[in-house]
A and B are shown apart, each in its own frame.
Chain A
């Protein structure tokens, strides 16, 4: 009870307090943030240990507000809370070193803490009104955590906020419709089967905000730009972890608690999920800016979660939620490593980097773990959750209905997406860490402990979650949410991991024993030509062939022009309407008088 109250109050109070301090005390502000984040992490752990229950908080303002402050502690919200607490703490550690030197990011820590508090609020409350309130605050802080300094970054900030507010507004409509059709706004325990056009609209109006927040196609378009322009710590905190957690949380609530999933809903969710996987990963393949590349992957991975939850079966839901957690881990880790590289080199293009593995070994190690995880290589965590989702899809095929009969399509798309992810992470890892190092990067050092420690901690979790997936993590964290899981195929993660570790050790021993250590190092062989300074690592060139492939080239070109961007499309539509109305407002007085008279005559004609 007290813990939950503090969980909401501490981040908000500390965040508001930090507004009062001047920007020159940045380090001090960072330390206060770290302390409050540590406290909330502890509190979230304490809440995590509580049994399932519903708690009514008393609000001292007015007794009639109490019914809105009903908190719901079930396995789903506990899962979210512990990870929100963890990420809040770990990124505040990273920010301490990363943000302190980045100039002009005003009130970063205040908004950081308020974001954290609002996220806790959104996850805990069991009534839609306070949920809308907290959800809306998250939109504002999202806007404030981008550093709007020039044309591009202010556009990105603007676009993100507009899309967030649009989704908020649609959520309000959805909530209103839900209230109309059920008469209740309690999030847990509705379980309705949507009927008729009203039910359909309610479902659509509720999933759009969830998909926008998480970033699924076609509402994903704010994410890549945000990833490119925002500070890496903001990206890691928001688009990699927090927004994914919250968006998928809402989706899970909709699919588990609010609606009983119908066949067409499953079809919609699976279609959205699988399209997201493929489209985003195709876009990721052709990126040159590594932060933007990560942004597209942040979108692509959402597809797996949406598809998993869309299956509606216990294994699907557990797989989707497990993927949510895993993705939050490795994707935020990737953003952190990207931030470290950016901080040391000041470079954002893959072409201009290379060979950093030697100068930044810890960052390299972490990035490698994350890259292997996201590509779904066993024994890392990404594999475990993808495996569950594949299992779920195969299982799902036994059911009846249109969504089930297409199971093979969903499966192929998901597996294909995974392969493309691997391909693009070869590019990412190779582009930054392997290959020839440009001379100007010889002097750079590993980042400070405040930055590499979070990276390593997260990578450790990635490994642990992968190795103990089937034995510990899934039964303990996820099975209570979606129900008991029956596997068709058996994946014994611990045993397989053991085998892999043994093989790695054997390989290492061979490496030590043999003469391989004395191997010769030299530049890539390029036909005897002397290697030029500007010549990049050739692996990147390979990916250019994708974008020049005829059929794809057409789509890529259109995508570059933002022809598929829902934001730009609606902007064009609105401006077109604006053009029509503006033409009518000529500023000529007689015209206006005619409007007045005509308006009056029409009104009189109608009424009389």
Chain B
């Protein structure tokens, strides 16, 4: 299985080049190639998720370590990476399949699919890379593809959003590169596992580097106060891209790297754990309070992403706090499972919500809720999938969101952080508030019959298919609460984080 690891980057990168060359000549080539490539990746990642155990490493070029010093570029696939790979490939495939129909409202279909493919390559690269400079390279591939995709509509609004995103994203990349440089200067290596053995514990230098990393990746993950680019960028992009950005990109580029670095590279420190948790809580609260006043569907969803990312960080952050003061590992695992499970769930229901919003926009050309209404009758599939996702994100059983929020709240109480638990509860009430607002003004409220003279039909099968699969996943992921399934999917990912610096041993094999 080891030799299959590079395929996760090679396939999407190769498809991008093939599409650039043959897409122009052979008609329909792009629309067939990319979904098939992503379907294969989905298969591969699920095979990895269910079949592989422990950490799989792959040395690019096959250079063996010299005197215990790793000189090759390492690709390391452990439980967390496998989970992320599955999310990226699966959501990527569904969003891409959905795009086949959706892209008809734009012109440059080939460019769209090429950029899409590059974005997937970048994210997969980040997740499998065990080398911090490669993470930066893939991060730039994914980010630059996403800058272009946000601006894809080339209207005034899209260009402005993309410009803001580029400026802020550029600053973040600069900070990341800056601290990578510092790390290389002090440790003389770029391999994450190797760095963690070389880094001195504590000390002002490590703290400084950690903070600069946190700001850089925090911006990519849209943590308060670095979230300001997200509402514009995510609401202006074409809907399948919004689904990818909110559902996957901010997690692969932002959250994943933060978790990886702060658990597996830096030694845990209570102070940093506290900062991360507080920032997560602030994101959760402020994102939720901002979302409830929005009237643009996609902007509402974008603010909601900030809030939900806050939940994920809250869960993992509580785990980090407990681990850093050598508390009860069982509670820490519970908190981290809650966070990681919410990450998985959020990628499913948030992409579903964006796809549903896209379906509404596709048929009506309208995103302003004040002008919509009564669509439940004409768009039954969209309406029900959107409803399922809304209930799921608001944390109602039997949907997946209920369980992850339950775990996060229970873990917060168990760890003694009552205020955080209370805030999580209050924001979950605010969440149902704004999602019900969205449901009411978009799909019900029949008094506004703007669609009556327009002859609106349900969206094409291709789009419905993706939405239905995601809606079914909202139900099916609840099953991950069953211990035997949880041990296959979630526990390996959580163990990677709980075990902390043992990552080094797993990757380098000492």
A residues within 8 Å of B by Cβ? Answer: 61-62, 64-65, 129, 132-134, 136-137, 139-140, 148-151, 154-155, 157-158, 161-162, 165-166, 168-170, 172-173, 175-177, 179-180, 201, 571, 574-575, 577-579, 581-582, 585, 587, 589, 591-593, 595-596, 598-600, 603-604, 606-608
Contact = CB atoms under 8 A, between A and B. Distances in A.
Interface in B219-276: 219, 225-226, 228-229, 231-232, 271-272, 275
B397 interface: yes
A157 to B, nearest CB: 7
A586 to B, nearest CB: 10
B369 interface: no
Nearest to A171: B425
Given A132-B397, A180-B416, A604-B211, 6 more contacts: A157-B444, A173-B421, A176-B414, A177-B418, A571-B433, A596-B226
B28 interface: no
Interface string B393-416: 011111000100110011011101
Contacts of A172: 405-406, 409-410, 425
Contact of B163 (A139, A578, A589): A589
Contact of A179 (B208, B210, B394, B410): B410
Interface residues of B, number: 68
B14 to A, nearest CB: 36
Contacts of A134: 397
B452 interface: no
Closest 5 CB pairs of A and B: A176-B413, A136-B397, A578-B293, A592-B228, A154-B444
A587 B160 CA distance: 10
A578 B289 contact: yes
B436 interface: yes
A578 B292 contact: yes
B448 to A, nearest CB: 8
A64 B204 contact: no
Contacts of B433: 162, 571, 574
B447 A151 contact: yes
Interface in B334-392: 376, 391
A180 B414 CA distance: 6
B432 A150 contact: no
Interface string B34-53: 00000000000000000000
Contact of A176 (B208, B409, B440): B409
B31 interface: no
Contacts of B212: 600
B464 interface: no
Interface of B: 163-164, 167-168, 171, 175, 204, 207-208, 210-212, 214-215, 219, 225-226, 228-229, 231-232, 271-272, 275, 286, 289-290, 292-293, 376, 391, 394-398, 402, 405-406, 409-410, 412-414, 416, 418, 421-422, 425-426, 428-430, 432-433, 436-437, 439-440, 444-447, 479, 482-485
Given A132-B406, A155-B440, A575 B482 contact: no
B409 A593 contact: no
- Among B175, B413, B485, max chain A CB count under 10 A is at B413
Contacts of A571: 433
A597 B275 CA distance: 17
A33 B419 CA distance: 46
Given A154-B440, A158-B440, A578-B289, A607 B272 contact: yes
Contact of A136 (B207, B293, B402, B447): B402
Contacts of A598: 225
A579 B396 contact: no
Contacts of A607: 207-208, 210-211, 271-272, 275
Nearest to A173: B425
A598 B164 CA distance: 17
Contacts of A136: 396-398, 402
Contact of B289 (A129, A201, A574): A574
Contact of A170 (B167, B394, B425, B437): B425
Given A150-B447, A166-B429, A600-B215, A180 B413 contact: yes
16 contacts: A65-B482, A129-B406, A132-B397, A136-B396, A140-B391, A150-B445, A157-B440, A162-B433, A162-B436, A169-B428, A581-B290, A585-B228, A587-B232, A589-B167, A592-B228, A596-B219
A158 B168 contact: no
A23 to B, nearest CB: 11
B168 A596 contact: yes
Contact of A64 (B422, B446, B483): B483
A575 B293 contact: yes
Contact of A166 (B286, B432, B483, B485): B432
A252 B410 CA distance: 24
A173 B289 CA distance: 20
Given A151-B445, A582-B290, A592 B430 contact: no
Nearest to B271: A607
Nearest to A571: B433
Given A140-B391, A585-B231, A595-B225, A165 B292 contact: no
A307 to B, nearest CB: 28
A140 B387 CA distance: 10
Nearest to A176: B413
B410 A575 contact: no
A608 B209 CA distance: 11
B286 to A, nearest CB: 6
Nearest to A598: B225
Contacts of B293: 575, 578-579, 582
A582 B286 CA distance: 10
Nearest to A161: B436
A603 B214 CA distance: 9
- Most-contacted residue by chain B among A133, A155, A571, A608 (CB, 10 A): A133
Contacts of B439: 158
A140 B474 CA distance: 15
Given A133-B398, A158-B437, A596-B226, A585 B290 contact: yes
A61 B482 contact: yes
A567 to B, nearest CB: 10
